[in-house]
Amino acid sequence: MTYTTQMDAAKKGIVTPQMQAVAAKEKMDVAVLRALIAEGKVVVPANKNHVSLSPEGVGTGLRTKINVNLGVSKDCCDIDLELTKAKKAIELKAEAIMDLSCFGKTQEFRRKLVAMSSAMIGTVPMYDAVGMLGKDLKEITVDEFFAVVERHAEDGVDFMTIHCGMNRKTAERVKKNKRLTNIVSRGGSLLFAWMELNNRENPFYEYYDRLLDLCEKYDITLSLGDACRPGSIQDSTDPAQIEELITLGELTKRAWARNVQVMIEGPGHMALNEIAANMLLEKKLCHGAPFYVLGPVVTDVAPGYDHITSAIGGAIAAASGADFLCYVTPAEHLRLPNLDDIKEGIIAARIAAHAADIAKGIPGAREWDNQMSAARADVDFSRMIALAMDPEKAGKYRQESQPECEDTCTMCGKMCPMKNMKKVLNGEELSII
């Protein structure tokens, strides 16, 4: 029996090699996984042309995944450096990389990235349109927009963020309901501008079936972008954001009818007390489709530390139902991240994802923590470092400050409660002088 997409296969009762790989990673019965894919509650982004891919699943019952953003721009156009960042991201166990390139030899970089990456690759074709076509935004035609999408698909991209829900009705909501930060989505703002300049409907909304044709042909997972995501905590959960989310829910059903896999993108900047409600809204309005959140950043006053503000929000979001976290680095809002920023952002996002997986009861999540706690109870520093999410940093900190006694640290020394409790409970003599 033949199939066109992972969702098509799942609906037909076919277990694909990609499903088998994901089920093994997740320690899940493949029949359960297949049923979730058929329902649209799990996606397995896997372009037919991405031969180096190690498939991952995103959605209900699975580990929370993280995404890393990188790519070349006019101000920072070093392809080799961005490829080095991508290799570091894969080394640090990021499951996805989004190429946000918008200038220069974007296709050359994209093809090299897809060829070397075992992680799933995402793009935002709208970013590439102006740079690739070399035309003013107003002059780009509908056919040219779709040509860019197809080029990305041919190059092996596994998922694409396309802001299909930014239609003229949503645009009116933006204009009628003044925001503190307007539209902060780069792709969303470009589409909004194109619509206003040409007095036309969003081509990806108007010709949505044409987009679905391409997604079905290459098995692209459609990441329905949130053009109206809040760029400040003041703008969250406002009429424009909710208007767009309702539209995305409608577009989700249309995609599923064509066997196209769908993720929904979400906020953004958001106060702590609104996060759980927003996760519930997305799952309800978008029929349980996987939710991909950009943070959320929970306060706007910490530039230089937004990997932390994002991790706080990301942990709450994922524990409340989000499935996929986009990392944020310390350089967010300030500049393109360097290698050190990439690492800080990835570790922060992984901490958030893992903390949420413990809360959600994902199989194996708590076991890792229990192993670390056992190593601490045994005062086994070598084992603690090996189990650490970032063994390199843990090992460096241990080496920088050596204790008098090897089985303690310089915080407690001979007063180490782990060491002393073990001795007392074993009936041994105790000396802390």
Q: What is the DSSP string of 257-272?
A: HTT--EEEEE-SB--H
What is the Cα Rg of the chain in Å? Answer: 23
For residue 6, what pLDDT is reported?
98
For residue 424, what pLDDT is reported?
86
The model's pLDDT over 11-24, given as tens digits with 9 standing for 90+, comes to 999 999 999 999 99
| Reported confidence tier of residue 227, pLDDT bands at 50, 70, 90 | very high
Q: What distance, in Å, lies between the first and last C-alpha atoms of the chain?
A: 75
| Reported confidence tier of residue 294, pLDDT bands at 50, 70, 90 | very high
For residue 387, what pLDDT is reported?
98
The model's pLDDT over 252-262, given as tens digits with 9 standing for 90+, comes to 999 999 999 99
pLDDT surpassing 80 at residue 433: no
User: What is the rounded average pLDDT of the residues 405-428?
Assistant: 86
Known binding site for Zn(2+): residues? 269, 333
Helix (H) or strand (E) holding 80: helix 79-91
Q: How far is CA 321 from CA 29, 262, 313, 342, in A?
A: 21, 16, 12, 25
User: What is the rounded average pLDDT of the residues 284-292?
Assistant: 98
Beta-sheet strands, E only, within 85-219: 96-99, 120-123, 159-162
For residue 420, what pLDDT is reported?
85
pLDDT surpassing 90 at residue 347: yes
431 or 145, higher pLDDT? 145
CB 74 within 8 A of CB 102: yes
Percent of the chain residues topping a pLDDT of 70: 100
For residue 132, what pLDDT is reported?
80
Cα separation, 422 vs 417, in Å, equals 8
| Reported confidence tier of residue 241, pLDDT bands at 50, 70, 90 | very high
Structural tokens at position 101: 């390139």
Would you tell me how many other CB atoms lie within 10 Å of the CB of residue 103?
17
252: alpha, beta or left? (left if phi > 0; alpha if psi -120 to 50): alpha
Cα separation, 346 vs 339, in Å, equals 11
For residue 145, what pLDDT is reported?
97
Q: How far is CA 218 from CA 91, 233, 314, in A?
A: 27, 38, 31
User: Residue length, the chain?
Assistant: 433
CB 18 within 8 A of CB 55: yes
Q: Is 314 exposed, middle or buried (0-12, 13-18, 19+ CB in 10 A)?
A: buried
List, as one string, the DSSP characters of 195-243.
HHHHT---HHHHTHHHHHHHHHHHT-EEEE--TT--SSGGGTT-HHHHH
User: What is the rounded average pLDDT of the residues 45-60?
Assistant: 98
Known binding site: residues? 69, 98, 127, 163, 185-187, 226-229, 265, 269, 292, 333, 409, 412, 416
For residue 412, what pLDDT is reported?
87
Percent of the chain residues topping a pLDDT of 90: 88
The model's pLDDT over 166-204, given as tens digits with 9 standing for 90+, comes to 999 999 999 999 999 999 999 999 999 999 999 999 999
User: What is the rounded average pLDDT of the residues 270-281?
Assistant: 97
For residue 64, what pLDDT is reported?
98
For residue 416, what pLDDT is reported?
85
Structural tokens at position 245: 């989310």
Bridging pattern class, strands 65-70 and 324-326: parallel
The model's pLDDT over 353-402, given as tens digits with 9 standing for 90+, comes to 999 999 999 999 999 999 999 999 999 999 999 999 999 999 999 999 98
What domains, with CATH codes, occur in the chain? Answer: 44-360 (3.20.20.540), 365-425 (no CATH)
Known binding site for substrate: residues? 69, 98, 127, 163, 185-187, 226-229, 265, 292
Q: Which residues of 372-381 are buried (b: 16+ CB within 10 A; e: fewer)?
A: beebeeebeb
DSSP class of residue 427? Answer: T
Cα separation, 226 vs 162, in Å, equals 9
For residue 76, what pLDDT is reported?
82
For residue 363, what pLDDT is reported?
93
pLDDT mean across residues, the chain: 95
Q: How far is CA 385 from CA 151, 202, 352, 371, 395, in A?
A: 44, 52, 20, 12, 6
Q: Among 295, 187, 165, which residue's Cα sits nearest to residue 240?
A: 165
Q: Is the peptide bond before 268 cis (omega within 30 degrees of 0)?
A: yes
List, as one string, the DSSP characters of 310-342.
HHHHHHHHHHTT--EEE---TTTTTS---HHHH
The model's pLDDT over 129-171, given as tens digits with 9 standing for 90+, comes to 887 888 899 999 999 999 999 999 999 999 999 999 999 999 9
Cα separation, 293 vs 48, in Å, equals 26
Q: Is the Cα torsion angle 183, 187, 192, 197 positive or negative in sign?
A: positive
Q: Among 258, 230, 262, which residue's Cα sits nearest to residue 249?
A: 262
